[in-house]
Structure 1
Amino acid sequence: MTHIPFPSWPDVAPRLIAVAAGRDPTDLVIRGGTWVNVHTRETLPGHDIAIAEGRIAYVGPDASYCIGPETQVVDANGRYMIPGLCDAHMHIESGMLTPAEFARAIIPHGTTSIFTDPHEIANVLGLPGVRMMHDEALLQPINIFTQMPSCAPSAPGLETTGYEISAEDVAEAMAWPGIIGLGEMMNFPGVANADPKMLAEIAATQRAGKTVGGHYASPDLGPDFAAYVAGGPADDHEGTCEADAIARVRQGMRSMMRLGSAWYDVESQITAVTEKGLDPRNFILCTDDCHSGTLVNEGHMNRVVRHAIACGCDPLIALQMATINTATHFGLERELGSLTPGRRADVILTSDLTTLPIEQVWARGQLIAENGECLVDCPHFDWPDSARNTVHMGHTLTDQDFEIKAPDGANSVRANVIGVVENQAPTKALKADLPVVDGLVEGQGGTCQIALVERHRATGGVTNAFVSGFNYTGKMAMASTVAHDSHHMIVVGTDRAQMALAANRLAEVGGGITIFRDGQELALVELPIAGLMSDDPATAVAAKAQKMVEAMEACGCTLNNAYMQHSLLALVVIPELRISDLGLVDVRTFEMIPLFEGAE
């Protein structure tokens, strides 16, 4: 399917001018609404919007002079007219959906622009995978801007990915039509230490006049943070407290505050605006990671805006953080983010600015959703077989692959354990005294096994360790080929035989998520595209994901959105402790550490 570009402002400027001047009738008028002006932070009752060629030609108290015989007229009945919502930083793959199905899921929630970093697929399929995501994104009826992934692997030397992204790849992608900038620069030690590859990627982006995304996951706000900012990243979404948000905006970065399926970082940071009184134009709302169940059942950026308001933010400021602030950050203030002449006609009608019901949605002047229903087609890319056959383990696994042998003669060991933190991306580096039975170390008391199974090069490698916080009971295992960011396979379980069953099942179906208990499969979410995504509708994927959540609960896990915690256990750029195909990684020092204390 060929992408037909949305007409640029120069292409349609003569028509917009003619409509605004009254010389030419317009295509659409939304009449009698309350104009929410995010430039001035005002609500102005009794206003009309005239739309031509998918863009706004006029906003004012009376657009009747723009109406001709063929003009469509929609009565807003006094409702608020707000700009389409923007998600400033997110990963489509986290929804377990392709760009087309992700678009279909978020359109009824009023999101009309997303800025997506497909670094998940980059780790599995490299630059060709990024191009596939980019190409399907450009087919959609909403604005999907792609950030070229910067870090695959995210931490060189500490993990092995399916593919590596080079500075040359970044420079090539900057010429693609839908590339808006560089994806989150996760290798913050590399930037702080002036790594030539990282600086070459940043330089290629800046030469192209595009935005460099940030990801500074360290709590250290000293010289390393200063060095990172000096290296060029323009924003950051890894803050978890008020001090993080303040530090970023004081240094000229945008603070992106996220509410995803499992990341609840808005409430702890928005006090920088609501209590400290900092200029809100430097703060932006985003989701980062939302799985399909959240999208279907709770919402998208409308959910984030509502949450910000519930945390004490003025509704108009919250809307700025999800519209004009985002557009300005990416250099698109003349293109989107507000209801003003020349901009894309991305318009929401809502009857309340606090509860924010999304009643009607237009994108580029086309009605795309009404009362929760998507009204438009979201075209699919033809995903090739190379994107669908990506789970290569080398051999069928058995319980012996998950054995953790104790040091000779030991009756117990002190192990380094990954500690899950509810509703946050960071983990804790814990220690636990674990028993030895028949020469093998066993989990106990809430500590169970975790394994990373290599699935890109069929090496047959399995790295075993321990994790605490899921509180699983009985004989069970959960496996997922979504394992940020290297996207090998993560298996967590209380029983080695169940772990083998779960891993082999995902090899059989080509990737996804599965849960086994006592030899029976309780839930399966098939993700055949790169082991990350399904091209089924969001509702179907969400239904399977809900069964997964219920199966986790049946196995004893009560954490909120624990699957997101599971999928990030291999993310070796967020402190404190993670697992990779090379072993345990202490992300506080970016060094490998032994599984057992005192071991070499």
Structure 2
Amino acid sequence: MERLIAVARGDAEPDTVITGARVFSAFTREWLDGDVALHGGKIAGIGRYDGGARIDAAGRYLVPGFIDAHVHLESAKLVPTEFARAVVPRGTTAVVCDPHEIANVAGVEGVDWLLGATEDLPLDVFVMAPSCVPASPFESPCGPFGPDEMRRVLEHPRALGVAELMNFPGVIAGDPDVLATMVASHRDGHAPGVRGRALNAYVAAGITTDHEAFTAEEALEKRRAGMWVLIREASNARNLRTLLAMVREHGPEYCAFCTDDREPDFLYREGHIDQMCRVAVGEGVAPEDVLVMASLHGARAHGLLDRGAVAPGYVADLALLDDLTEFRASLVLKDGREPEYGAGVPGALRDTMRSVPVSFDTGTSGWVRVIEVQSGQLITGAGVGRVGDADLAKIAVIERHQATGRVGLGYVRGFALHSGAFASTVAHDAHNLVVVGVDDGDMALCAARAQALGGGLVVARDGEVVGELALPIAGLLADAPLEEVAEALEALQATLRGMGVEIDAPFMTLSFLALSVIPSLKITDQGLVDVDAFALVPLALSEREAFVARYGALYEHSPWVAERAFRPGLADGDVADALRDAVYAASEAEQLALIRAHPDLGEKVGVLTEHSRSEQAGLGLDRLPQAQYERFMATNAAYRDRFGIPFVVCVREHGSPESILADADRRLGNTREQEIATALGEIAKIARLRLEDAR
């Protein structure tokens, strides 16, 4: 340190001096002129410095190395050396890794392997101690990984705290077993859709970050609660553009970038944190705001006080950018030196596959619960269908760690697979073997081939394996370069497109169907999981249960309407009338409760159903200009004061917000009895249109 101080004073010669660059100050978000002196892997100072090796950076921008604030390295399907080769040239110099993928497969031995494999990289790989192995009681990992195992991980000098607490219902409920995993003061979060008092409870548990916000409103509420919002752009959870609306309106404070789960083709073709920077600037965020989210804020979110800025005493992790639109690094320095990657893959963690052949016969006919896939999202819908429906595929999760033969079976909609099957041993979080198919024989073939490979991705059609990617290290990682792995994955995806699958990142989508802590309906080796109820649920449904599941959401937060409308054998064309009649047959108190279940129009923040969110967004009610927004709020208030109910209108019958306001002004002249009748009529119209959309 004495030598570093002497260099900073100008009394000793630095190792290296970077000259001519515009230097980014992450603390003030401005650009400085001056030399940057480096010594012993640290930044000595900014100013005028003589001596040392010179780097001419004239015309370029000197910025802190990028930091990925939350990542699962294993999702790249690359050994750590290859991961570093993929991201360091793009400007990333540090990542905060939750190694719970490899912990689920290989326990402490797996985490030790990863720590050893990241020891001498030109990339700082900090780790969090996996807190949720398994992620929930409904998943089956290789074995226990509890507080004792976490404490062992936390002894490592690169360990920062407790990894994402995925069992958010357990945290919120104060479950003693869940709270016992909070063995360090720094705690990462995982709270998809958690808001209101539930969010208060989650944050009160000492959890300081979250990367699961799906809407700008949710992210802003979490910031207001004091959480760091880690804005995610993963292969199958591309939340960046949505959440940037919050950054544009409220600034970048308490926001950082993360990739979470990014597949090798995404890394290879588009990049890492640099890609997020390009997108953010393209979406209208100032480059200076982008850079702090890509560097300083990621460090601050995890208590890393010696990196993320170009400033005296900071680690000399730096990138020279040619411009502030593409964010491509022409030079990256790690600890003040150009990167050296080394070679080789540590041994062990092979032969982890212990699955056994199973039957894919679900033993069901008639109505069943259906997992509904949403392209580009980790959340799924909870639908219904009939066995044999053309749009359904079968799904199986086969336990692969203990050779139990346990298998969870179900149905999935959204892949549009018309032939064959595909499988993966990457299946968050327990990483059992997951298979989707429309032919039981091809499903069995995929499962057998994945076992023979020691893990991997497999596609089969007409009794033949037509594509595969071996993942022999823990069934998660390939022993191959990035380019080779990325191109193999792209070839598999092209094969699936020929089999009807058009959604983005189908293997990543497949892998998250087994994660029982992200809503709504998931599947594990133990069976179907209703994540919202946090319970296992049966696959088969009665006709009545299927009716309520199909139509219960048409009337806002009021499934009782469908329950009362049900009649055995009710024709599809008679459903809308039956639902309407059930409402009109209800008591006045029930009718008023139904009306009051509807949201005020134009509310920027609030708990809306997906139906309401989509309908209001369709007319721009979620992005009203301030003056018009204030008129809506005043109208809502006047209407509530006069009638004691929210103003309900079938938005899709209006062509503009002004048309709705005019209708509200007219209806304010009604009596309360007239307005209750009008509101019920509008609700019936809304439900009828929603029903038509669903067909």
If the length of structure 1 is used for normalisation, what is the TM-score? Answer: 0.88
Larger RCO (alpha carbons 8 Å, 6+ apart): 1
Local SS of the residue matching 1:543 = helix
SS in 2 for 1:269: helix
CA deviation vs aligned residue, 1:307-350 (integer Å, no higher than 9, x gap):
122222111101101111111111112x1100111111111111
Tell me, yes or no, if the aligned pair for 1:137 and 1:145 is still in contact at 8 Å.
no
Partner of 1:596: 540
Distance 1:562 1:509 in 2: 20
What CA distance in whole angstroms lies between the structure 2 residues aligned with 1:496 and 1:381?
37
1:477-510 CA distances to partner (integer Å, 9 max, x unpaired)? 1010000001100000110100011100011010
Q: Which residue matches 2:625?
A: none
> Is residue 25 of structure 1 aligned with residue 6 of structure 2?
no
Query: Do structure 1's residue 425 and structure 2's residue 387 form an aligned pair?
Result: no
Partner of 2:98: 117
8 Å CA contact retained: 1:150, 1:201? yes
Residue 392, structure 1, aligned to residue 354, structure 2: yes
- Counterpart Cα distance in 2 of 1:569 and 1:43: 46
**Structure 2 residue 403 is the aligned partner of structure 1 residue 450:** no
Residues 84-103 of structure 1 aligned to structure 2 (within 5 Å): 84-103=65-84
Contact 1:55 1:342 in 2 (8 A): yes
Aligned to 2:184: 205
Rounded to whole Å, the distance in 1 between the matches of 2:235 and 2:129 is 24
- Counterparts in 2 of 1:421 and 1:183: CA distance versus 1, 3 Å: same
Pick aligned residue for 1:253 from 213, 227, 247: 227
SS of residue in 2 equivalent to 1:89: strand
Aligned equivalents of 1:307, 1:562: Cα separation in 2: 23
Cα deviation digits, residues 167-187 of structure 1 (max 9, x gap): 111222221111011111001
Query: Quick one: which of 475, 479, 494 aligns to 1:531?
Result: 475
**Contiguous gaps of at least 5 residues in structure 1:** 1-12, 369-375, 407-411, 436-443
Encode CA deviations 1:51-70: one digit per residue, 9 max, x unaligned.
1111111112x222xx1xxx
1:321 and 2:303 are equivalent in the alignment: no
Unaligned runs of 5+ in 2: 546-695
Aligned equivalent of 1:373 = none
Task: Please give the alpha-carbon distance, in whole angstroms, between the structure 2 residues aligned to 1:500 and 1:57.
Answer: 61
Contact in 1 for aligned 2:407/2:527 (Cα 8 Å)? no
Counterpart mapping for 1:164-563 below 5 A: 164-202=144-182, 204-206=183-185, 211-217=186-192, 219-275=193-249, 277=250, 279-333=251-305, 335-368=306-339, 376-380=340-344, 382-384=346-348, 387-394=349-356, 396-397=357-358, 401-406=359-364, 412-435=365-388, 444-474=389-419, 476-563=420-507
- Which has more radius of gyration? 2
Instruction: Report if aligned partners of 1:122, 1:163 keep a CA contact under 8 Å in 2.
Output: no
Q: Distance in 1 between matches of 2:129 and 2:112?
A: 9
How far apart, in 2, do the equivalents of 1:16 and 1:168 lie?
40
For 1:321, give the aligned amino acid: M
Residue in 2 that maps onto 1:6: none
Shift in Å, 1:152: 0.4
* Cross-structure match for 2:49: 63
CA distance in 1, matches of 2:351, 2:407: 20
Residue of structure 2 equivalent to 1:10? none
TM-score of the pair, normalised by structure 2: 0.77
Q: Considering only aligned residues, what root-mean-square deviation do their CA atoms show, in Å? A: 1.5
CA 49–505 in structure 1, closer or farther in 2 if over 3 Å, else same: same
Counterparts in 2 of 1:100 and 1:155: CA distance versus 1, 3 Å: same
Whole-angstrom CA distance in 1 between matches of 2:315 and 2:194: 41
Letter in 2 for 1:174: L
Q: CA deviation at 1:120?
A: 0.5
C-alpha distance in structure 1 between counterparts of 2:36 and 2:466, whole Å: 52
Q: Tell me the SS of whatever aligns to 2:219.
A: helix
Report the AA paired with residue 161 of structure 2.
Answer: G
Shift of 1:380: 4.2
SS in 1 for 2:329: coil
- The CA distance in 2 between the partners of 1:344 and 1:232, in whole Å, is 28
Distance in 1, matches of 2:151 and 2:179, equals: 12
2:56 to 56, 75, 78: 75
Aligned length: 544
Q: CA deviation at 1:228?
A: 1.1
For 2:317 and 2:323, the matched residues in 1 are separated by 18
Structure 1 position 449, deviation (Å): 0.5
| CA positional deviation for 1:512 | 0.6
Percent identical pairs in the alignment equals 37
C-alpha deviation, 1:160, in angstroms: 1.7
Match of 1:131 in 2: 112
Shift of 1:146: 0.7
Partner of 2:122: 141
Query: How far does residue 445 in structure 1 lie from its aligned partner after superposition?
Result: 2.4
Give the number of the structure whose residues are more often helix, by fraction: 2
Q: Deviations over 1:407-466 (max 9, x none)?
A: xxxxx511100001111110000101223xxxxxxxx32210100111111112222110
**Contact 1:101 / 1:535 at 8 angstroms: preserved in 2?**
no
The answer to whether the 8 A contact 2:415-2:502 is kept is: yes
Distance in 1 (alpha carbons) for counterparts of 2:233 and 2:200: 26
Q: Which amino acid aligns with 2:152?
A: E
Shift of 1:201: 2.2
